[in-house]
Amino acid sequence: MGQPPRSSRPRPFQLHEWLILPELHRVSGHGQAIQVEPRLIDVLVYLADHAGRVITRDELMDAVWGEVIVNEESLTRAISELRRILRDDRSAPRFIETIRKTGYRLVAPVVAPAPGVLSAATALGVPSAATAPGVPSGATAPASPARAQDLRTRLRRIIPLAFGAAAVVIAILLLRPTTPRAPIEPLVLTSVPFTTYTGEETRPAISSDGTRVAFCWGGPEGENFDIYVKQRNTEIPLRLTDDLTYESNPAWSPDGTTIAFVRRLEQGAGIFTVPAIGGVPRRLYLGEHWIPGIDWSPDGKWIAFAERSSYGEQEPPSRIQLLSLETLEARPLTIPPPGYRGDTTPAFSPDGETLAFLRADDLGLLDLYLMPAGGGRPRRLTRGGIELHGFDWLPDGRGLVISSMSTGSLSLWRVAVAGGELLPLITFADWAANPSIASQTGALVYEDIRFDSNIFRVTLSPGEDPLHEADPFIGSTHWDSEPEYSPDGSRIVFTSKRTGEREIWLCRADGSRPEQLTFFEGPLVGRPSWSPDGTRIAFEAGPRGYANAYVVAADGGTARAVTSDEHNDLILGWSHDGIWLYLASDRTTDRDGSGQLWRHEVDGDRAERLAISACVVAKEAADGAHLFFARIGEPELWRMPIDGDEEEAERLPIALEDISNWAVRPEGILYVELSDAGPLVKLYEFESGASRLLGQLPGLCQPGLALSPDGGTLLYARTDHRSVDIAVCDRLAGLW
């Protein structure tokens, strides 16, 4: 094995506008100095030593990692991070070119730096935030120079910086601004575990002084979720409730003496309080529905909560209400517009003047809104959030930390109140959700979620017992899901996080030869779907902050955007002739709750809104004559003529208990039915009008249900391991 190149003391060199200082592990340019992880410098130096030559992946791993045993994922991450630092574009590289199925080549000329440039750059230090002279503790790090592109595009490549469990934050960029609206580089947070119990610890809420954390825990077996409090530097938490019903959403009183929480009741839910040192819970409010989120006002006089209203259809929207702790009377604060699914998760600003909350549209997509705490017109702060899992205010009230699926996984972001600008926060968690911030100290806690989802295979034998054991088929130590067979059954497309970010992958029908098909390196990517002729794959991706539709050749190449406007288009599938893509879209502007199903030409600009109200799941029949559709919150499956309207639809005798897992087959509808024994896969046959059992799928909980064209093999995704712990970060320097 070769030796890492850093032992040879390589000299500085220049790549276009960037000056590389290998001994200092530093890259300088664009008015900034970036401290780089040593292994990244090793990779860049080796490529520079062999500039212009194609370096195989094996050669590069041998030279850089030496005797250390690593997989190709480490090299892929290193190349992705170098591209981010150098502002390189994989599709039109100025620095590092990917040679498909081979390796990499440095295409930029390598030149020796001029003496003046070298001396100036060497003198530019990059101290840490804790030791930087003249930078007070908690001061905001200046931003980098402005770039002429949209903020969401600038944030599309957020690559984790860790290369192992021992990796710690090596650098915080101290950059000089040239404009007050300059783009901001990611901020890396140093977090440590706060809880590591068996089971799942969820919904953390930190006290205002940062000394205690309330959370919901179901115990080692996850049998009964109760409210607990854990103090810093102690291992055993204090159990505050022991009721047999589900309890969640703890919220601290301003003085830290009491905790409010939500308890599920036989009919509806209630808001309760309990002393933080233990005692008898007291009921404050009884509601008819579940209460998704509560918060205590800073003056201690009000509790804001979310609850479904009594008006509306089968699924009335939720709204924010204020509960007076003096009279125990509640009054509504928000009224969601028609077509919206409701408002949830209220949170008072530190001064109590503003209330933040999440509002879901008719597709279930969430955005953050602000409004006066006493009532008034809400202001939308974020757009195209795709998926939001909790938020909290920063102590100065000028920003919030949110958990968002703006990239390929749930991660934390700082959003500014003034203009909605986003700053990515790197935590090294697989998924980071439900942040909570101490109003006095700024300490942050959040859910550190880790899970491994793999694709399993079940072989079906007609005429025999349909229940068979499932075996692992496509898997890694990261998230693998959303499989789909090619029309000829020879290949399988699926979504995977095995490179660290969600990308589209291909493999053979036997699971061999996995090959990465997309290289977005950061944004949300998923829902792959084969074209009817098997030559292209459609999927959705969000490099601009919105989920747009893309297509890519099944044999590889550059992905092309089919839609690119500022709205979300979720892939539902192809038309039988390959001309159209069906989309669940929020592009409708009248917000009347109708017509959310669209179809868009794959190779043209024509788009049509179909006459189905609030339809978000739809698939075309194999013959192109009918369209099957369903709506979120409604278990029925409907069929209508492709050129008809909703009045002509007929309801099929199918209960879609898992609305994300069903497929149209020439002979019928493949769907999932829940039972005490576990999820069952059934086939509704068009000819007989009856359903028959195909198999049992233990552990089904991820999108992705695929039947091979010959009907003999079924693929599905399931989570084999999941853990939810609480992590704590004591310093949010640069955020407030």
3-class secondary-structure state, position 322: strand
**6 band by pLDDT with thresholds 50, 70 and 90:** very low
The residues, any chain, with a CB within 8 Å of residue 329's CB and separated by 6 or more, are 323
3-class secondary-structure state, position 320: strand
CA 339 to chain centre: 25
**Tally of CB atoms within 10 A around 59:** 16
CATH among 2.40.160.10, 3.40.50.300, 3.40.50.1000, 1.10.10.10 for 5-126: 1.10.10.10
What pLDDT is stored for residue 152 in this prediction? 29
- Which of 352-356, 404-408, 438-442, 567-571 is least confident? 404-408
Angstrom distances, CA of residue 565 to CA of 185, 385, 569, 605, 613? 25, 15, 9, 12, 22
User: Which spans in 87-147 are helix H?
Assistant: 115-123
Q: Is the pLDDT of residue 184 over 70?
A: no
What pLDDT is stored for residue 704 in this prediction? 75
- Which of 339-343, 435-439, 692-696 is least confident? 692-696
Give the chain's mean pLDDT.
79
* For range 670-682, the mean pLDDT: 81
What pLDDT is stored for residue 309 in this prediction? 63
- Which of 116-125, 639-648, 666-675 is least confident? 116-125
Q: Is the pLDDT of residue 430 over 80?
A: no
For the chain, percent of residues with pLDDT exceeding 70: 80
Separation between Cα atoms, residue 610 and residue 614, nearest integer Å: 10
Q: Is the pLDDT of residue 559 over 80?
A: yes
What pLDDT is stored for residue 168 in this prediction? 21
Separation between Cα atoms, residue 115 and residue 136, nearest integer Å: 34
What pLDDT is stored for residue 533 in this prediction? 95
* For range 315-325, the mean pLDDT: 88
* For range 270-286, the mean pLDDT: 96
What pLDDT is stored for residue 546 in this prediction? 72
- Which of 250-259, 297-306, 468-477, 526-535 is least confident? 468-477
Residue 105 is inside which H or E element, if any?
strand 103-106
Tally the C-alpha atoms within 13 A of residue 190's C-alpha that lie toward its C-beta. 14
What pLDDT is stored for residue 653 in this prediction? 86
Q: Is the pLDDT of residue 263 over 90?
A: yes
pLDDT tens sequence across 53-75? 999 988 988 888 776 555 676 78
What amino acid is encoded at 532 in this protein?
A: P
* Contact indicator for 381, 393 with CB cutoff of 8 Å: no
φ/ψ of residue 648, rounded to 5? -90, 0
Query: Which tokens is 308 given?
Result: 């479904």
Separation between Cα atoms, residue 454 and residue 148, nearest integer Å: 41
Fold designation for 197-386+446-450+723-729: Neuraminidase (2.120.10)
What pLDDT is stored for residue 219 in this prediction? 84
**Tally of CB atoms within 10 A around 372:** 13
Greater model confidence, 309 or 523: 523
The residues, any chain, with a CB within 8 Å of residue 260's CB and separated by 6 or more, are 250, 251, 253, 271, 272, 273, 284, 294, 296, 303
Domain spans, the chain = 5-126, 197-386+446-450+723-729, 461-711
SS (H, E, C) 192-257: EEEECCCCEEEEEEECCCCCEEEEEECCCCCCCCEEEEEECCCCCCEECCCCCCCEEEEEECCCCC
Find residue 507's DSSP bridge partners: 492
* Contact indicator for 496, 379 with CB cutoff of 8 Å: no
* Contact indicator for 421, 183 with CB cutoff of 8 Å: no
Q: Is the pLDDT of residue 436 over 60?
A: yes
Q: Between the ranges 255-259, 455-459, 471-475, where is the mean pLDDT highest?
A: 255-259
**Tally of CB atoms within 10 A around 139:** 13
Separation between Cα atoms, residue 136 and residue 731, nearest integer Å: 13
R_g (Cα) of the chain, nearest Å: 27
* Contact indicator for 544, 504 with CB cutoff of 8 Å: no
* For range 220-245, the mean pLDDT: 89
Greater model confidence, 90 or 556: 556
Q: Is the pLDDT of residue 373 over 90?
A: yes
- Which of 100-114, 352-366, 500-514, 652-666 is least confident? 652-666
Q: Between the ranges 183-187, 212-216, 262-266, 670-674, where is the mean pLDDT highest?
A: 212-216
Angstrom distances, CA of residue 106 to CA of 45, 51, 109, 690? 10, 5, 8, 61
* Contact indicator for 348, 298 with CB cutoff of 8 Å: yes
**351 band by pLDDT with thresholds 50, 70 and 90:** very high
Angstrom distances, CA of residue 154 to CA of 94, 151, 285, 573, 597? 17, 5, 45, 29, 30
- Which of 40-49, 174-183, 401-410, 508-517 is least confident? 174-183
Q: If we measure between CA atoms, which residue out of 264, 153, 149, 261 comes closest to residue 205?
A: 261
**177 band by pLDDT with thresholds 50, 70 and 90:** very low
Separation between Cα atoms, residue 276 and residue 215, nearest integer Å: 12
- Which of 228-232, 421-425, 680-684 is least confident? 421-425
Tally the C-alpha atoms within 13 A of residue 562's C-alpha that lie toward its C-beta. 30
Cα diameter, the chain: 83
pLDDT tens sequence across 135-161? 222 222 333 333 223 322 222 222 222
pLDDT tens sequence across 688-703? 999 888 877 777 766 7
CATH among 3.40.30.10, 2.40.160.40, 3.30.420.130, 2.120.10.30 for 461-711: 2.120.10.30
Separation between Cα atoms, residue 718 and residue 243, nearest integer Å: 31
197-386+446-450+723-729 shares the fold of 5-126:
no
* For range 320-326, the mean pLDDT: 96
* For range 17-44, the mean pLDDT: 81
**578 band by pLDDT with thresholds 50, 70 and 90:** very high
3-class secondary-structure state, position 8: helix
* For range 232-254, the mean pLDDT: 92
* For range 262-289, the mean pLDDT: 94
3-class secondary-structure state, position 154: helix
**239 band by pLDDT with thresholds 50, 70 and 90:** very high
Residue 107 is inside which H or E element, if any?
none
Nearest 10 degrees: CA dihedral of 285, 291, 296, 302?
-40
What pLDDT is stored for residue 509 in this prediction? 92
User: Which spans in 553-702 are helix H?
Assistant: none
Q: Is the pLDDT of residue 199 over 50?
A: yes
What pLDDT is stored for residue 406 in this prediction? 63
What pLDDT is stored for residue 66 in this prediction? 74
What pLDDT is stored for residue 340 in this prediction? 82
* Contact indicator for 489, 473 with CB cutoff of 8 Å: no
Find residue 516's DSSP bridge partners: 505
Separation between Cα atoms, residue 569 and residue 539, nearest integer Å: 10
Separation between Cα atoms, residue 409 and residue 113, nearest integer Å: 40
Separation between Cα atoms, residue 197 and residue 213, nearest integer Å: 14
What pLDDT is stored for residue 70 in this prediction? 58
Residue keyed to tokens 């829902």:
527
Q: Is the pLDDT of residue 327 over 90?
A: yes
